[in-house]
Structure 1
Amino acid sequence: MTGTARESGAGFAHARQIADAVLFEGYVLYPYRASAAKNRLRWQFGVLAPPRYGADSGEHSHQRTECVMEPRPGDRLAVELRFLRLQRRTVQQACGNGAFRTVEELELADRVLVPWDEGIEERIELSIPTEELTEREVVREFDLAAGEEMELLTRDGAVAGRLLRRREQARGRLRITVRDVPGPYRAQRLTVLVENTSPWAPPPGTRREAALARALVSAHLLLGLERGSFLSPTDPPQWAAQEVRACRNEHTWPVLAGPPGSAGVLLSSPIILEDHPHIAPESPGALYDATEIDEILALRTAALTEREKREARGTDERAGAVIDLADSMPPEILERLHGAVRGLRELTDPAPRAEHPWWDPGNDPQVDPARDRVMIDGRPVGAGSRVRLRPGRRRTDAQDLFLHGRTALVEAVLQDVDGSVHLAVTVDDDPGADLWRAQGRYRYFQPDEVTVLEGA
């Protein structure tokens, strides 16, 4: 089982960029310090815990990927399991005479070191002739031994302390099977099961941190065919739609991961993605916090105090790299992060444009939100009408319920693609009404959620 199966090709390289983002998503969040509350509850995606701990805690111990592929004669399937393995770091201060004591913080010239769980990337790789898969189940066991490391720290030429790093044993198994798919084409359903097989038996009351040390964290799969292709798990061809729907994926989400138009690589991710995901070209580097906008994140990071930056550098090398990136980012990169125009068209071009979606109100001469009317209690209501709000509990949110009984001005009558009618309104006495109106932002209610005011 050797070979690389497209690993050196553009498709696999493209997929690896996305896989790296998945692997380290949420690894260390702004403000990139171990002391921040956001960084005290970590490892939320793709955690495969030891089975005996998972049975009692609700954590998963396996991950199942199923998809439909079309291998060609003589094809090879590349399977790459990637995950993080926790490495627990302890900080110790030198006490003289070769002795050390464990501390919560150790200050050096360029960083402030604190205890932290580092993530070490692990890969389990296979390359299998597809003919072998039709004959038998392929099973690959792996056993990563426990280990310890020590790093001495110096200050002004003298030993100031040391870092102790410890990794627990991690064991797992890959099970790969295929079965032929009935139909006009040579297709097969591929099943890859990833299991944590750790024999560790946690005592009662064991905390999650102890189990994480023996877990496969951010576990995901890269699958590649040398010559064949995978069918899209979300948009398959009609002849295979039923077979694709029958695929059972547990705790993972498979998507085509090569460049648009390719189908030779599939990524099975613990995060929901779309086919052919890609990293925004404006992104200057890994920031590990996809819930934030890169521009805001870079500006906030650059504004941290020097003490906060030193603590971030002492938290993790990756956090330190983010600090250095924010500090060295030139103005043209920041300007690029401010926004990007994905496409332009000439607004004054009189020629009809076929790209308008069929539901675009501006492309339908029979729709005019500013003049359309809807009948409420036998009276026509439209832009300029005044109503009293009576939000319905069955389809509104708590914020709208606060407006019960308030009066409002109807700004437009709108219809959605399902034919439902909505009234866009601004609430009377709302100090921001003029601003909302200028921006075209309103509150929306259905006709049976308002009553028409007398004399309106």
Structure 2
Amino acid sequence: MTLFGLAIQERFAAARQIADAVLFEGYVLYPYRASAAKNRMRWQFGVLVPPAWGQSSGEHHDQRTECLIEPRADANLSIELRFLHAQRRTVQQVGPDGGFAAVDALELPDRVLVPWDEGVEERVELVLPVAASAGAGLVLPFDRAEHEETEDVELDDRVCGRLVRRRARIEGEIRVRTTEIPGPYRTLKLTVEVANTSGWKPDPGVDRDAALPYALVSAHVLLGLDTGSFLSMTDPPEWATGAAASCANLRTWPVLVGERDDVVLSSPIILEDHPQVAPESPGALYDATEIDEILALRTSALTEREKREARGTDARAGAAVDLVDSLPPEVWDRLHGTVRALRENTGPSGASGPTTLIEPGVPGEQGESGEPGTDRPWWDPASDAGFDPAADRVLVDGRSIGAGSRVRLRPGPRRTDAQDLFLHGRDALVEAVLHDVDGAVHLAVIVDGDPGADIRRAQGRFLYFQPDELTLLEDA
């Protein structure tokens, strides 16, 4: 292993705030107790299981990242593989004879200790010359040794039990190679594969829990260039669109992180380029795809008994509960939301008003319109009466499209959400034609074969595309 240089360490440190949200996504969910149903089926993202378990379960033992790089001469590539190593924790209580026996729970005044799988963060750090990965590339093995430790649990200055933690041996490989891409500029396709090569063999009849101690959980990689840059996979320059389309990413997706485009996070959760953690977020609540205010409100409603269970489930769960309990009023106000869209406000005279960021929940700072010191709306509410989403039509290539039209989806290159690109070529039914306050038209659709179509209609939760991203098939 080679130590990272200071410069790349600093860039990776900035990217780890996003990477941590990926690493611990779903680690322990509200209500933060091991007894909760949602915490009994954990770790759904980026789990690389031993090959023998993958053959019988259909889960995967490897992931592949492919992206485009423009390295300068003598550039070095830094790789940081990050994953959680499941550490099985059992609880033992002191018996009448002074010996220890396993129990389902150990009651203490401040917590209730129960068996649980903790996640130990592991990193594999490498630095290598980009030139060294040409041709057949490099295969870089790594391993993590088995480990066992005990922790005494005391009550009233006497040992009443103990926690026993065990980690299994894990083995894996990082495979790196680069391929020249023809074009007007020197560009390489970078391929980084991560594979679990552990030789663990499952006994007949065992379930997924038996395989988790030998798995790489929430596995993802950070990639960095000391000189040079990465190209966006969702919005590449026009000359590189063909090369970007040829990149095959399996069970992971690379996005640019930071300001210099020299660091990429390849994540099992689909993100957009340059993702950010909301500055209003008070800290880790282990569900980065949820709204912090909702999580905090729910957590604050837990009973004292439930909070004791959470603190005994996991140290991180206990920290989340303590964090919510300690939030001051000004943080609760900030959690209520912020509108980041910048829009020009136009007054009665046609002059432009000030552009503001709205922070609802902070009294006395703004009028109902969201513009400080006024109650003048930034759009005419009466104009909404002239639209009917169910009856409105829009012309696309001279053909009328509206609710009931059957269309084929063709998301454009301006889309930054990779999930929309996965729908390219799928057929869908238009449910409504919507107009926003800026005059843009959006078509609400439901994709053919969507098993949740009825729920989407009932809740009004559709997928939205612009007219030039659709092709009319036929009218229902």
- CA deviation string 1:106-126 (max 9, x = no partner): 012211100100000000110
The offset of 1:393, in angstroms, is: 11
Task: Report what 1:267 is aligned to.
Answer: 265
Give matches, 1:36-435, under 5 Å: 36-134=36-134, 136-259=136-259, 262-342=260-340, 343=342, 345-348=344-347, 350-351=350-351, 370-371=385-386
* Mean Cα deviation higher: 278-287 or 303-312: 303-312
Name the Cα RMSD after superposition.
Answer: 3.2
> SS of the residue aligned with 2:109?
coil
Task: Return 5+ residue gaps in structure 2 as ranges.
Answer: 356-377, 394-402, 408-431, 446-474
For 2:306 and 2:249, locate their aligned partners in 1 and report how far apart those are by CA, in whole Å: 42
Q: 1:413 to 1:62 in 2, by over 3 A?
A: closer
Specify the code of the residue in structure 2 equivalent to 1:101. A
- CA deviation string 1:65-86 (max 9, x = no partner): 0011011112110001000010
Please tell me whether the aligned partners of residues 70 and 188 of structure 2 are also in contact (alpha carbons under 8 angstroms): yes
The offset of 1:98, in angstroms, is: 3.2
For 2:35 and 2:444, locate their aligned partners in 1 and report how far apart those are by CA, in whole Å: 50
- CA deviation string 1:277-304 (max 9, x = no partner): 0100000100002343211211221221
Task: Report what 1:428 is aligned to.
Answer: none
Q: 1:156 to 1:235 in 2, by over 3 A?
A: same
- CA deviation string 1:180-220 (max 9, x = no partner): 11112111110011001011121232200011111000000
> SS of the residue aligned with 1:28?
coil
The offset of 1:370, in angstroms, is: 4.1
Please tell me whether the aligned partners of residues 135 and 177 of structure 2 are also in contact (alpha carbons under 8 angstroms): no
Highest CA radius of gyration, 1 or 2? 1
> SS of the residue aligned with 2:338?
coil
Q: 1:178 to 1:303 in 2, by over 3 A?
A: same
Structure-2-length-normalised TM-score: 0.74
> SS of the residue aligned with 2:9?
coil
Specify the code of the residue in structure 1 equivalent to 2:175. R
Task: Report what 2:466 is aligned to.
Answer: none
Q: 1:413 to 1:63 in 2, by over 3 A?
A: closer
The offset of 1:144, in angstroms, is: 1.2
Please tell me whether the aligned partners of residues 369 and 413 of structure 1 are also in contact (alpha carbons under 8 angstroms): no
Indicate the structure whose relative CO is greater, using CA pairs within 8 Å and at least 6 residues apart: 1
> SS of the residue aligned with 1:251?
coil
For 2:221 and 2:264, locate their aligned partners in 1 and report how far apart those are by CA, in whole Å: 8
For 1:121 and 1:198, locate their aligned partners in 2 and report how far apart those are by CA, in whole Å: 18
Count of residue pairs brought into register by the alignment: 384
> SS of the residue aligned with 2:247?
coil
For 2:124 and 2:298, locate their aligned partners in 1 and report how far apart those are by CA, in whole Å: 37
* Mean Cα deviation higher: 92-101 or 216-225: 92-101
Task: Report what 1:8 is aligned to.
Answer: 9
> SS of the residue aligned with 1:7?
helix
Please tell me whether the aligned partners of residues 45 and 271 of structure 1 are also in contact (alpha carbons under 8 angstroms): yes
For 2:245 and 2:228, locate their aligned partners in 1 and report how far apart those are by CA, in whole Å: 21
Please tell me whether the aligned partners of residues 91 and 115 of structure 1 are also in contact (alpha carbons under 8 angstroms): yes
The offset of 1:100, in angstroms, is: 1.0
For 2:8 and 2:333, locate their aligned partners in 1 and report how far apart those are by CA, in whole Å: 35
Specify the code of the residue in structure 2 equivalent to 1:169. R
Please tell me whether the aligned partners of residues 141 and 172 of structure 1 are also in contact (alpha carbons under 8 angstroms): yes
Q: 1:12 to 1:325 in 2, by over 3 A?
A: same
For 1:413 and 1:45, locate their aligned partners in 2 and report how far apart those are by CA, in whole Å: 35
Q: 1:168 to 1:393 in 2, by over 3 A?
A: farther
For 2:181 and 2:266, locate their aligned partners in 1 and report how far apart those are by CA, in whole Å: 21
